[in-house]
Amino acid sequence: MVISQASVIHEYATKSPSVSGVPGHFTENEQNKMAKLWTMILAHFEQVKDKPVKVASEYLHTITRDWSELDATDKFGNEDPAAVTLRAWQFTKGESSIKRFGLGSKKAKLSREELALDRHVNETTQQYVDRINGRSVALMPDNFFPSFAHPSTETRDFRDIFWATVSIKQHPDYWVHRYMRSAGWDVDRAFAMIKGIIEWRATEAIDKIICEGEIHSGHDEQRLCLSQLIGRDRLGYPLMFVRVRHIMPRANEGFVFKRYLLSQFESLQVVTRRFGRVTMLYDFTGFTMDNTPFTMVQFMVFLGRKVYAESSSVLILLVDSWLFTNFWNLIRPFLDANLSARIIFVKDVSEVRQFIDEDQLPKELGGTNTFAAPFKLPEEGENAKMFDLDGRKVAETEWRRRIADFESLTKKWCDCLASTSRSTEELNKLAAQRDEAGREVERAELALNRFTRSRNNFERLGLVDAEGCLLLPTDQQ
């Protein structure tokens, strides 16, 4: 099933999101294909249950500096984000006499000015909090382990990683069906995509990145608010606003900015668990090619096409420069038809209003929305439950029990659909039981993640409700 850009635009013009091919609105043929896909997934769990995936992540490296000559208010702390990023990049790029530091734990001594510039591109939130407090602050436990059932940090269990990824949604079908839609309802292709992404998540230890969240991500990427959730689009989907001109990934070690992106996207997946999609508004005004290096563009396309397939409603690109032609030529060959259909080019703000109402548009783009979520530093104690191993064990046991229940009912549901002698009453009863079991999996995940995931900025600002879902001030307008 390939969507068209015209159909996407029509949804916004009529404020009527399409329900075709989404859970709760499957045709009989789509339901049968979902059952076949689940049968393949459950069978694969059995095939790989004794074959753990080896971790070989590029995102888990650390860079250690001697920050002792910096105080809490270095002179770059309050400058315009674009000025800081540009100068930091020019320094790290242009000073061949200054040794660029590689990976690992080796410390080095830099001058205060060099530290201030280098701090911008490499200091994590944990390092920053330690520095301003003059001591080591226990924001979360030091020792990460994936689970009690599979405690090794060197490998991951495929089934565990699948369920850790899927259970943040209100029903497991919501995550699985994304890949079915992305694969054009080709069951074999959808299974291959899911298998590949879960193996990638296991290899790259994405569960550890989720656990550490913003704490071990770059502090300045958070502080400068390179991307912000600011409101909703005309269909009610959360709206993420990205100022492309403020992004300077070349100033970082490659893995640092990728880790930041993964941390942001994973937090977004958690707080938008009930919305299905997110709209992205990219403001390219004043950007240069330094803001969009090829390797980073490739990585973002990979995230959009594969890791978070079918997660975007529209990607609105506000462009005012001929330079964008070069950027577009970089990414166009890597896009699939469905993602391409959701990319909308606009030349001015009046065109943006087709998708975002004025009261949701940021003031800097001519709207009336003044909401901005500043980055609030994590505080000691906010992740207290992460230190409670007994509580975590109880929550994990319940989570696994709920998953086993859902798998059992899913198998029965698949068998019933495949049976020629099934009754409609029997099928409907199983479907209802399975749906409730799916909701129980999400509830169990909500209880477990207090022990396994550090709190994010949305939670610190009080923008998440009791069910873990985003609640913006603009929702009350």
Secondary structure, 3-state, 17-78 = CCCCCCCCCCCHHHHHHHHHHHHHHHHHHHHCCCCCEECCCCCCCCECCCCCCCCCCCCCCC
Name the range with the highest mean pLDDT among 14-18, 32-36, 321-325. Answer: 32-36
Query: Is the per-residue pLDDT at 303 higher than 80?
Result: yes
- pLDDT, tens digit (0-9, with 9 covering 90-100), for 404-418: 999 999 999 999 999
| Res 220: pLDDT | 80
| 381-403: average pLDDT | 98
Whether the pLDDT of residue 338 is over 80: the answer is yes
Amino acid at 145: F
pLDDT the model gives residue 70: 52
- What pLDDT is stored for residue 38 in this prediction? 98
What average pLDDT score do residues 143-158 get? Answer: 95
Residue 1 has pLDDT above 80, yes or no: no
Counting residues of the chain whose pLDDT is more than 70, the rounded percentage is: 85
How high is the pLDDT of residue 69?
A: 52
C-beta separation of 81 from 224 below 8 A: yes
Question: Is a pLDDT exceeding 90 seen at residue 376?
Answer: yes
Q: Output the pLDDT for position 466.
A: 84
Largest CA distance in the chain: 78
Q: What is the mean pLDDT of residues 432-447?
A: 96
Report pLDDT digits (tens) over 193-204: 999 999 999 999
Q: Which of 263, 262, 265, 261 is nearest to 249 (CA)?
A: 261
Angle, CA 277 vertex, CA 370 and CA 355 arms, to 5°: 50
Going by pLDDT thresholds of 50, 70 and 90, the confidence category of residue 249 is low
Between 58 and 204, the more confident residue is 204
Contact 359, 474 (CB under 8 A): yes
Interval 328-338 mean pLDDT = 82
Is pLDDT above 90 for 190? yes
Q: What is the mean pLDDT of residues 233-258?
A: 82
The whole-number pLDDT of residue 293 equals: 77
User: If you search the block for the tokens 């958070």, which residue do you land on?
Assistant: 222
Is pTM beyond 0.85 here?
Answer: yes
pLDDT value of residue 258? 87
